[in-house]
Structure 1
Amino acid sequence: MPIESEHRDTDSPYVTRVWRGQTSGAGFMNSVATSTWELVFWEDDGVVHAAVRGPETRPTAVVIDGESESFGITFAHGASMPHLPSRRLIDSESESVHVEGGRFVLRGEEWEIPDFENAEQFVHKLVRAGVLTRDPLVDDVVWGGIARVGTRSVQRRVASATGLTAGAIRQIERARQAALLLGEGVPTAQVVHTLGFYDQPHLARSLQRFIGRTATQLQNPAPEDALSLLYKTELGDGS
């Protein structure tokens, strides 16, 4: 089951990553937990789909059957679409009701489907139209910044923009970083120390909860063991 993917950085404050991928054959892919939400487009058996996909708080198995191409825009933690409450999107998605002729429906309006190269221009259009907004405090707090407002206000604003608590976001992101380091061959004890886990059992629980794999499985993956897109982020302090 070949899976090819690539992703790139972006200078947009609304976006974390832009990615695209292609699969063929049959099998399963392990979609690991992620604290961010995405706008995703994919073609399956000649049919194009579009959906807003929310944060995933647990790993899930995704069935791969045949050839499929996909493209996505992963948004920063402070970015949100007011017409789609963040809590409704957790471990879920909202698929466009109509996709045809290179266009899709979002907030009841038709939009031209973007691509890997012009994602930022498309995001700018969403911002100008008021479809996409951003609370800069949220991203700062998530990555360890200090807010100049009360704790309850911070919690409310993080939850409103992401559907998650800042603590949950950090736990998910730390587990993802651990999976990356282990996959690169970094010793387990070093991962524990580098990312601030209490001990190896704490790391093991985090990996099982958010990645669905053990440290050994990540260090020595089976050829058919496919994981969803992982990439390095700026990790703040977490627990």
Structure 2
Amino acid sequence: MRFEHRDAENDASIVDRVWRTRSDAEDTMTSAARTCWQLILSRTQGRLLAGLRGPETRASTAPVPPDTEFLGVRFALGTVLRPHSVASIIDGYVPFPVTDSGRIVIGGEDWEVPTYENIEHFVRRLRDAGLLVRSRLGDEEHVAEHPEAGPTERTRQRRYRAITGLSQTAVRQIDRVNAAATMLRDGHDWRTVVETLGYFDQAHLAHALRRYVGRTARELRAGDHAAMSFLYKTRPRPGS
């Protein structure tokens, strides 16, 4: 599976990444932990499937059907598709109905199936319909730095989890390990990764890679090309 991906055009505050790929044969892939949910469309022998893939809290193995085209949209942290709370789809998948005419039913209304080229138009329509909203998690971070200006820490953490489905600690851990995997795939040694990203030692890094990425540092540095969902570089700084 060869992935093609790109940044969003004019919707960076909501859409983190757009990607597509195609499978040739039946296989499996390693799905790495991710903090954000995705809308995924697949088409096999003319049959369309659509649904939400929730944030993933650990690496897992997922089946890959043969001769299938995939289109995915990864949404920015804090984005919610009503009425599906992110917490309800952690490590899960929610399918959407597809009409006989090949349209996707979301929020009780049927929508034209987007393409890789026009996915931003589809996202804007969902947003304009009030189905797609983004909470300003940056305000939560400001309150953390200035607690006298807002709610208590416990209240803030509850609100953060209600929006993202994850704790801030979990988000930081997953973002950091994906940044670590990126550095290793780019050829950095484990010592550089440990020092740059604040791991205690090699064992701490190895444990995080096994749990969240499903690869060892050696496999990543060696260019292990077994199918996995590690599609593109993460943000320069974990948690950003």
Give the alignment's TM-score, normalised by structure 1: 0.89
| Residues 199-229 of structure 1 deviation map (CA, whole Å, 9 limit, x = unaligned) | 1111111101101111111112445x12112
Distance 1:31 1:236 in 2: 19
Could you tell me how far 1:113 is from its partner in structure 2?
A: 1.2
Could you tell me how far 1:139 is from its partner in structure 2?
A: 5.1
2:19 and 2:72 in contact (8 A); partners too: yes
Q: Greater CA deviation, 199-208 or 114-123?
A: 114-123
1:219 corresponds to: 221
Q: Report sequence identity in percent.
A: 36
**Equivalent residue of 2:36, what SS?**
coil
Question: 1:7-26 to 2 correspondence within 5 Å?
Answer: 7-10=5-8, 11-12=10-11, 13-26=13-26
1:142 and 1:170 in contact (8 A); partners too: no
- The residue identity in structure 2 corresponding to 1:231 is K
**Equivalent residue of 2:43, what SS?**
strand
Distance 1:186 1:44 in 2: 39
Q: Does 1:109 align with 2:112?
A: no
RMSD: 2.3
Distance 1:194 1:99 in 2: 50
| Residues 125-152 of structure 1 deviation map (CA, whole Å, 9 limit, x = unaligned) | 111111011111x256579x84753323
Q: Does 1:27 align with 2:31?
A: no
**CA separation of 1:34 and 1:153: change in aligned 2, threshold 3 A:** same
1:198 corresponds to: 200
Instruction: Note the residue ranges of structure 1 that are not aligned, 5 or more in a row.
Output: none
- Which runs of 4 or more aligned residues in structure 1 lie more than 6 Å from their structure 2 counterparts after TM superposition? none
Could you tell me how far 1:97 is from its partner in structure 2?
A: 2.0
- The residue identity in structure 1 corresponding to 2:156 is V
**Equivalent residue of 2:203, what SS?**
helix
1:90 corresponds to: 90
Q: Report how many residues are paired.
A: 234
1:161 corresponds to: 163
1:188 corresponds to: 190
Give the alignment's TM-score, normalised by structure 2: 0.89
